Structure 1
């Protein structure tokens, strides 16, 4: 009998803390594994962790938040664990076969391989239309996109941001602070009837729009982007809207919605929206016969995609894995995940000195957002997450 093998697909806000929790707290405490031994394999297409919380500032003003602070080597955080207990694999997961308990992998150079598991954790997260927000296509794509926007922004006279959610509003706020006041024409397309449409409290979005207006950012509602034609020579970008009109701008930043990274996941494991069917209390895969499979983070059907949602689900995930390994299923668990964010909970900086947000449905004053997030996008938490100390 070989070591008990746990494979985690995804090395971001869900996967990295899960790996640390298993290696540090759960697996060493299971008596049977002291003889059988164990290993945790963490799989990601990039060898880096991306603190995408700070991406709006890194995109617009890299001098204020350089890429070196938001893109951190994953391996550095796992040096304390013996090699026989932990392995990081840089590859893309391409398929899961639960009958044989294998995950198929591929690398950028075309090599393929398989890895077997006893327990599987899906923490693949979401991907975006633009590589500025994700490592789902590897760090090279992200760095190339950042290099291009950093080269074009300083000399641009017009900038268009699409997306009225937190990423779009935060990016527009960074542009407004850095280039507002007539320096550049900055436009934000909400794609909806208001900003921050997921919040039930519409006053938060109205406050955001008013603050952006004072920065010189123009907000346009009710239209969405249907096509983008970027000049091959790095010149103007033509954006087609769903009302039939076109906008020609120097820089276009797509900050529209995210979709789950699910191409490698069996179709029967996905709900109608493409998210992994996940028990909202135990984080187990909610599919008959698929035992010892779990999901944490924004790829799961239980999740609202927020960081707090991922963080507070961690204990329930770890306990489910432990109980399944020792084959105990008590009626009452210590850690049943119950979402604390059913009501509005968002912190949205608008530049470094202000912001808007809500907690449990209540609108927060700007100075709270400034203290919590606007000053530095909580960048001090990035190395802590990688090291498993935060």
Structure 2
């Protein structure tokens, strides 16, 4: 029986990093208590979603078994008294009783809670947030239809859409009609440096991919005679053999108390310590793309790791008191919680950070606001979408 139970909601990049970080580096340093980590997620396998564009377009180059890895075996080293995995969806959180309710009717008590539930997409090809089987089936369907397809339309001009278009352009070029709808006026529109998106469009067009801007979007998707029928925002109806939606993600926060969420339905987090930024609620932490502090990238998980673990370490060790203070510098005198304000704080990188392969031999990128040559993107990511780091992520050694 543990003295202190830490519940982690989510088992992707942030959730697994949190679990290993606690079990390897934080909890062994705190004496006098027995801790147990309980992880709750609907997926028993970790999906290397970074490699999804190549996995979708060219499974012979990046097979599924390399991108979908079992979680359980990576945690056997800790033993059942220190780690437990519960396969379930979280349905609600009761802060008054410190209880997490799940789809299996199991109520899980927590002393500390970490919300690392990530985000989900309109289609399961990009995430296992709806469980592994949905992702397997959706990608298998694309593998069956893509080789014979004569027309392919990709909606979404972010990294996933551009990378998928680049993979298909590399494979099929002018052999198939490949169209990419950016949904806005430029590709990679989230970047401050718009030249990066213009460069990406130029490279795709040279591959034979048709890039359409002018904010044309898919507003309705139906099926007819084995084809995808798309109604566009400009009034046009387009029928294609394969439609791939890559239009962005939404935070997985349906189970989170509404007062814990901001206007974008992300969980309110202190942007320096990653503690929940809600007056009167303590012992709750936010990690990864579900948090208001995050830019949503996988790299951001690693950048925030030190501050996140230090906050939990200081609170669990109970070496002082910190006053609740949110990022607007509002201090509530009556709200205190165990642990001091940590000195190791997260500092968000405001400049552009993105590597976008366009097929295995080229790409566009920016690091700390500076443009990155195509050959660096090729060797850093485009060669194999960094698949070698998938196992290290599951094992907590990344």
Range into which the TM-score falls when normalised by the shorter chain: over 0.9
1:15 aligned partner: 15
Query: Helix, strand or coil: the match of 1:194?
Result: coil
* Pairing 1:228-247 to 2, within 5 Å after superposition: 228-231=221-224, 235-247=226-238
RMSD: 1.2
Tell me if the contact between 2:365 and 2:377 (Cα under 8 Å) persists in the aligned partners: yes
d(CA) in 2 for partners of 1:237, 1:329 = 58
Tell me if the contact between 1:46 and 1:135 (Cα under 8 Å) persists in the aligned partners: yes
d(CA) in 2 for partners of 1:370, 1:2 = 48
Q: Give 1:332 shift.
A: 6.2
Cα deviation code 1:331-352 (max 9, x no counterpart): 6634111012x11110000000
1:358 aligned partner: 366
1:157 aligned partner: 150
d(CA) in 1 for partners of 2:278, 2:287 = 15
Query: Helix, strand or coil: the match of 1:64?
Result: coil
2:125 aligned partner: 132
* Structure 1 residue corresponding to 2:357, chosen from 342, 349, 352: 349
Give the total of aligned pairs: 379
Q: Give 1:161 shift.
A: 0.2
Cα deviation code 1:304-324 (max 9, x no counterpart): 011121111111111111111
Cα deviation code 1:12-61 (max 9, x no counterpart): 1101011001111111111121xxx1100111101000110000000111
d(CA) in 2 for partners of 1:147, 1:230 = 18
* Pairing 1:54-65 to 2, within 5 Å after superposition: 54-65=51-62
Question: Structure 1 pair 332/325, CA: closer, same or farther in 2 (3 Å)?
Answer: closer
Tell me if the contact between 1:94 and 1:104 (Cα under 8 Å) persists in the aligned partners: yes
2:184 aligned partner: 192
With 331-340 and 182-191 compared, the bigger mean Cα shift is at: 331-340
d(CA) in 1 for partners of 2:357, 2:306 = 29
Does residue 327 of structure 2 align to residue 336 of structure 1? no
Tell me if the contact between 2:353 and 2:368 (Cα under 8 Å) persists in the aligned partners: yes
Cα deviation code 1:154-184 (max 9, x no counterpart): 000000000000000000000000111x211
Query: Helix, strand or coil: the match of 1:290?
Result: coil
1:256 aligned partner: 247
Q: Give 1:2 shift.
A: 4.3
2:381 aligned partner: 373
* Pairing 1:66-105 to 2, within 5 Å after superposition: 66-105=63-102
* Structure 1 residue corresponding to 2:298, chosen from 291, 300, 307: 307
Tell me if the contact between 1:323 and 1:329 (Cα under 8 Å) persists in the aligned partners: no
2:329 aligned partner: none
Cα deviation code 1:199-242 (max 9, x no counterpart): 010110011001001110000002011000023x6x11101111
Does residue 332 of structure 2 align to residue 323 of structure 1? no
Cα deviation code 1:264-310 (max 9, x no counterpart): 00000000110000001000000011101000111100000111211
Tell me if the contact between 2:311 and 2:341 (Cα under 8 Å) persists in the aligned partners: no
Cα deviation code 1:334-380 (max 9, x no counterpart): 4111012x111100000001100111211111001011100000001
Structure 1 segments, 4+ long, off by >4 Å, are 329-332
Give the TM-score normalised by structure 1: 0.95
Cα deviation code 1:101-159 (max 9, x no counterpart): 010111xxxx3211000000000010000110111110111011011111100000000
d(CA) in 2 for partners of 1:154, 1:15 = 36
1:292 aligned partner: 283
d(CA) in 2 for partners of 1:319, 1:332 = 10
d(CA) in 2 for partners of 1:230, 1:148 = 14
5+ residue gaps, structure 1: none
d(CA) in 1 for partners of 2:7, 2:185 = 43
Question: Structure 1 pair 38/332, CA: closer, same or farther in 2 (3 Å)?
Answer: closer
d(CA) in 2 for partners of 1:279, 1:30 = 24
With 285-294 and 320-329 compared, the bigger mean Cα shift is at: 320-329
2:107 aligned partner: 114
* Structure 2 residue corresponding to 1:219, chosen from 211, 217, 222: 211
